[in-house]
Chain A
Amino acid sequence: MDKNDRFDRRLQLGEIFTAKDLARIERALSGALKCEIAIVVPDGAKKTGNQRVAVPWELEPVAYLVSREATSDQLKGASTLLVLLLKEAVRYRMTAELHLETVRADYHALQEKHAALERSETRYRELSRKLEDQVAAQVLEIKEAQRKMFLSEKLASVGQLAAGVAHELNTPLAYIRNNLVAARGYLDDLESLFAAVVHGKDLTSMRASWEQSDIDYIRSDFPLLLDACLDGVTRLASIVSDLKIFSNINKMQQSMDDVNGRLATVLSMLKPQIGDRIEIEQVFADLPAILCYPAHLGQALYNLLQNAVQAIEGKGKVGIRTFTMDGHVGVAIADTGAGIREEDISRIYDPFFTTKVVGQGIGLGLSVVHDVVKAHHGRIEVESQPGKGTSFTILLPIEPTKDAEDGE
């Protein structure tokens, strides 16, 4: 702070009174004393022959009263009057300047506080930025580790898949082969009968040949063998179909389809597995048709329902409910089956993850469901209590966005 700004400095006359006020005071004093009186500052030139009386302020003359005619007593009286005027003016002036000084000091303190706050804010920003960088770096690290883990898991999964698929394919293949070998044997057995027919043997020798080759048994067993083979081929086809869906979910055409209708079809397909042991409880709401991949959607619903049915040992109930909610079509499938263990919940959608014994499934069922729902830009939720049952809910948008139509 400039020294001249200090409130407790000694004030000069010009600071206390304006020139205009000084002139008025001069005129007032002159008028009162009926003679010319001048107020001059200390370093003003002395005029000889004049009466001169000091006007003291803070122990020093702040001005002189000068007059040619006035007596010394008159000037002293005028000086006292001027000091009283000064006192009031200085009192105001000093308090005003003190006030200003404290306001400046307060403002300065505020500015310093503000600057300190700004510095600390900058530090926190910097800290926050560094933390963000660190988090980003760590996220990158984790992602990389995850990717490596995923790769190694994927390799392991591929092995698991190969084992699962091999087993799945092997079982029907084994009995198709066995059946075909048996069928081939039956053909050998039929050969003697055919020969007898071709060579026009008599009825007796033909009958003997019939008896010898046990044609009666062959007649009853041959269709069974072929049916079993067809069954095996159907199973092989279904495994191949699952693998195909898994590999090219997004390469199909979309069309409008009715989810309730799709569910009814799937239910009729599953009828043989459901039988009498499982009670089906259906609550279907009126649903709008949605743009979807109908075959895939059917597959997903099939997988969910099949899982529900398979989860139930002995008697049980499967509830199927459809509804609309917030622009979505919803399907909830709840069973009273074995439930999913807590530690398994996070992995149920992982490809090739299965809790079924080898040969019962290759771990693609829920994976396919998950991918199908994702391809429809929908959501899937699961709630499960081990020993009580599991409930899956899928939500599919009624009007997929343009983005959704494009697929991923």
Chain B
Amino acid sequence: MTPSEHDDSRLVVKLVYYGPALSGKTTNLLYLHDRLQPEMTGELMTMETKNDRTLFFDLLPVGFTTASGLLVKLKLFTVPGQVQHDATRKAVLSRADGVVFVADSQRDQSINNGESFQNLAENAARVGLDFRTLPLVVQYNKRDLHNVLSREEILSRWGKTPWPLVFAIALTGHGVLTTFKHLLMQVYARLDAHHHLAHHHGLDCARFIGAIMGEASFLETER
């Protein structure tokens, strides 16, 4: 018998990095693996092929135990971005508690970004996630490259959406922690609403973020 993932002593949260092929999802995860300072870090599993293409998924488990004895476990996943792996993306997205959409800032990737975001919305609906309430952060990556969309262009496209928007250079880590922190803030609100973390476990949002990120939570605030 497998014990239930959620019980009185354990809270498992699934976070998914989504986005078009080669937009930097795995790079985000690798940087988080290096910089997060949680109480507990599990084994990082990446499944890349020769060409830096994620084949199935990457997985990074991090977590901590509250003073009340609750084990909070975050499982960070990436999906394969290539169009043909849609069934895998759908399976990985299933039961997600939060999503980071990693877009590629390069001008010629606009269509791929749009299609991938559309795909995210459709797959969310297919696996029974309410896209309107799903914690989501949009990250525009690769800001260091030439021929990228300007901030103004991106803001005019995304500024009016309900989702936080972060500009990033995942290779150097710029914006990666900020993105993650924005996600944790939204995720915490949902978890607290369902599990009364503050009330039952003395875990408020700042402590939640601090327990996962450690000092890294103070490193970046730029949006």
Chain A positions near chain B (C-beta within 8 angstroms): 3-4, 6-10, 12, 56-60, 83, 86-87, 90-91, 94-95, 98-99, 101-103, 105-106
Residue of A nearest to B87 (CB): A102
Q: Is the CB of A6 within 8 A of B42?
A: no
Contact with B87, one of A59, A83, A95, A105 (Cβ below 8 angstroms):
A105
Residue of A nearest to B14 (CB): A8
- Cα-based distance from A106 to B91 in the complex (angstroms): 11
CB distance from A109 to the nearest CB of B (A): 8
Q: Is the CB of B77 within 8 A of A8?
A: yes
- Cα-based distance from A94 to B75 in the complex (angstroms): 14
Contact with B94, one of A6, A59, A90 (Cβ below 8 angstroms):
A6
CB distance from B16 to the nearest CB of A (A): 10
Chain A CB within 10 Å — which of B5, B75, B77, B87 has the most?
A: B87
Contacts of B61 in A (CB 8 A): 58-59
Q: Is the CB of B87 within 8 A of A106?
A: yes
Q: Given A8-B75, A9-B5, A91-B47, A57–B42 Cβ distance below 8 Å?
A: yes
Q: Is the CB of B2 within 8 A of A4?
A: yes
Chain B positions near chain A (C-beta within 8 angstroms): 2, 4-5, 10, 12, 14, 40-43, 45, 47, 55-57, 59, 61-63, 71, 73, 75, 77, 87-88, 90-92, 94-95
Q: Is the CB of A8 within 8 A of B43?
A: no
- Cα-based distance from A105 to B56 in the complex (angstroms): 15
CB distance from B54 to the nearest CB of A (A): 11
Contacts of A10 in B (CB 8 A): 2, 5, 12
Residue of B nearest to A86 (CB): B43
- Cα-based distance from A312 to B66 in the complex (angstroms): 118
Q: Given A9-B5, A10-B5, A87-B43, A58–B91 Cβ distance below 8 Å?
A: no
- Contacts A91-B45, A98-B92, A103-B87 supplied; 20 other A-B pairs, CB < 8 Å: A3-B4, A8-B59, A8-B75, A8-B92, A8-B95, A9-B2, A10-B12, A56-B42, A57-B43, A59-B41, A59-B42, A59-B63, A59-B71, A59-B73, A86-B43, A87-B43, A95-B47, A98-B88, A102-B88, A102-B90
CB distance from B50 to the nearest CB of A (A): 17
CB distance from A76 to the nearest CB of B (A): 16
Q: Is the CB of B56 within 8 A of A87?
A: no
CB distance from A97 to the nearest CB of B (A): 9
CB distance from A43 to the nearest CB of B (A): 10
17 contacts between A and B (CB under 8 A): A6-B94, A7-B91, A10-B2, A10-B5, A57-B43, A58-B42, A58-B61, A58-B75, A59-B40, A59-B42, A59-B63, A60-B10, A60-B71, A94-B45, A95-B56, A98-B88, A102-B91
